[in-house]
Chain A
Amino acid sequence: MNEANVGTTDQLIVNMGPQHPSTHGVLRVALTLDGERVVSADPDIGYLHSSMEKIAERLDYRQYISYTDRFDYLGAMCNEWVFVRAVERLAGIEVTPRCEHIRLLMAELNRLASHLLYFGAMGIDTGATTVFLYCFRERELILDLFEWVSGQRLLYNFLRVGGLRNDLPDGWVEQCHAAMDALASRVDEYDTLLSENRIFIARTRGIGAITAEEALAYGFSGPCLRGCGVPYDLRRVDGYSLYPELDFEVCVEEGGDCLSRHMVRSRELRESIKIVRQVLARLPEGEVNVPVPRRLKVEPGEVYERIESPRGELGCYLVSDGSDKPWRMHWRAPSFYNLAPLDRLCRGHWMADMVAVIASTDIVLGDVDR
């Protein structure tokens, strides 16, 4: 060691992941550290890449629905929904009112399940194990509902072009009401345990902050963007499906840091419960399926359909050449864009804050890599 180096440190490159428990899947981040400070963070993705877009070109529209479940596996109903919406728009199919209501209901329940998992993961990543266990307990209520109606707990394959796999079973609506009542009484508990906890606030306030302009330039969407003070929610902006008729609030927080993103999701839990209750109250009777040819051929053309998934703007770009298979298919995966500014978010913070930043963007690596 020579004299000039005493008291200074060299920069060190550390690989975080791909088998790191707090990277939410298989994400590798090449960190350049100066002591405990992050100098740069370079996310390396692709470990879960499975050619989801290419696979679509060899499967017909009905077969591909079960694949859409598998990239953002925490928001599977939303993925199915945007895909069938795209196909239906291209093929000019109108679904029945009951079907539309049930689809919206499923998407909101899925948002609840996804945000509950986010709460748990955020808790455990910042050192609060208890809230993780409680959130998973309540998430079970929603997964039970999904299991009953679709036969599976995570990868539902429930939506069909022109309808649904099946109608709601008898007694499902009552159980859904009961689950919402149970959940509504518990959301405050999570806030007491996590959002109002001094230690949690100290670990998230001012961490990973980004301004609204930068966030927009990076393509942020969903709760991450709303955490920067931009009231951009496709459910209101596009007003697709039945959302214009429903009463809910677009949750916006100023600040752009981990705490703001967290608070947006915390408030969205309550809003989603409100939406589910409204939809259950006005659920119309009737058929859920309209007749669709077994081998559906759609007109040549292209379509971009987008909805608000639990993670942000989920888009499905579909080009058809008139055959029964998509000619080209592209997904706008919200996690991919929400992960992009990781370097910008982490630079200058402690290494331990990385975990909070990654958790607060709520990425799903299956969605990033597809």
Chain B
Amino acid sequence: MTTNTRQPQSAWALLADIVGGAASVIKGHVVTLRNWLRPKVTGQYPYRDPAKEWVPKPGYRGDFALIHDPERPGGLRCIACMACANVCPDKCIHIIGQGKGKERHPAAFDIDIGLCMYCWLCVEVCPVRAITLTPEYHNVAFTPQELIRDINDLKARGEGIAEPLLPVPIERSVLQPPTAKKKDVSEA
């Protein structure tokens, strides 16, 4: 049986042990003291001071938004093609499409962010880049119902967003750049 009980030792060895142990503890305290003088990195949440509000980088995957297109029915760029609803691993996007051909647009568009795993796949598969995740991270709610984003909510959140948000220009990501001809990647 292995134990780490102390073996009897000479008085000098014991003294050396005590001095060495004390030195290691003091060295540790010097480090603590040095860190005590460094600037504080923690902050209060929720933020009392709006200036100290944490702003995530562009491309942070927080909440959803639908991108506007005033020339289309419904004012949204979405063509209700269901690609995002099909690819979603959690099946938390529910769309009801309306109209035919060029007129096709979503009549209802619900995302249950309580189920969502923020994988970004819906943004990736969208053929017209109509959906995006935004850096909005205040997603707390009191009831599960409040976590369902409907089409009006998503439209309001898309105000002022021109293209899906990314930390880099779209050309340097897996998304199809706006300039590219409508062409499936599989043919490329």
Which residue numbers of A lie inside 8 Å of B, CB to CB?
A: 37, 59, 62-63, 66-67, 130, 134, 137, 140, 147-149, 151-152, 155, 157, 160, 163-170, 189, 192-193, 196-199, 202, 205-207, 209, 288-289, 291-295, 348-349
Contacts and interface: CB of A to CB of B under 8 A. Distances in A.
Contacts, number: 107
Nearest to A349: B2
Given A167-B168, A198-B24, A189 B186 contact: no
B186 A165 contact: no
A294 B174 contact: no
Given A166-B167, A168-B168, A294-B185, A63 B89 contact: yes
Given A197-B25, A198-B21, A348 B1 contact: yes
A207 B89 CA distance: 45
A59 B87 CA distance: 9
B121 interface: yes
B120 A165 contact: yes
A170 B167 CA distance: 9
Given A137-B41, A157-B119, A160-B174, A151 B185 contact: no
Interface in B16-41: 20-21, 24-25, 27-28, 30-32, 34-35, 41
B61 A165 contact: no
Contact of A130 (B27, B32, B56): B32
Contacts of B174: 160, 163-166, 289
Contact of B28 (A62, A67, A193): A193
A105 to B, nearest CB: 15
30 contacts: A37-B1, A59-B89, A62-B121, A63-B89, A66-B89, A66-B119, A67-B89, A130-B35, A137-B41, A147-B60, A149-B167, A151-B59, A151-B167, A152-B60, A163-B174, A165-B173, A166-B174, A167-B168, A167-B173, A192-B27, A193-B32, A196-B24, A197-B24, A197-B25, A198-B21, A199-B25, A207-B4, A294-B184, A348-B1, A348-B2
Contacts of B3: 348
A165 B41 CA distance: 30
A206 B124 CA distance: 52
Interface in B125-179: 125, 133, 166-168, 172-174
A294 B186 contact: yes
A192 B89 contact: no
Contact of A198 (B25, B167, B186): B25
Interface string B98-142: 000000000000000000011111001100000001000000000
Given A166-B59, A198-B21, 7 more contacts: A66-B117, A147-B56, A151-B60, A165-B173, A169-B57, A288-B172, A295-B186
Chain A CB within 10 Å, residue with most, of B31, B32, B166, B188: B31
B87 A166 contact: no
A193 B133 contact: no
A198 B18 CA distance: 10
Chain B CB within 10 Å, residue with most, of A67, A140, A151: A151
Contact of A151 (B28, B30, B61, B121): B61
Contact of A209 (B2, B30, B56): B2
Nearest to A138: B41
B89 A291 contact: no
Contacts of A148: 57, 59, 167
Contact of A169 (B2, B121, B167): B167
Nearest to B41: A137
A134 B35 CA distance: 9
B27 A196 contact: yes
B28 A192 contact: yes
A63 B184 CA distance: 18
Nearest to B1: A348
Given A66-B89, A169-B168, A155 B120 contact: no
A276 B51 CA distance: 34
Which 9 pairs of residues, A with B, have the shortest CB-CB distance?
A: A166-B173, A66-B119, A167-B172, A293-B186, A198-B21, A169-B167, A291-B188, A151-B61, A348-B1
Contacts of A348: 1-3
Interface string B45-74: 000000000001101110000000000000
Contact of B57 (A147, A209, A293): A147
A206 B117 contact: no
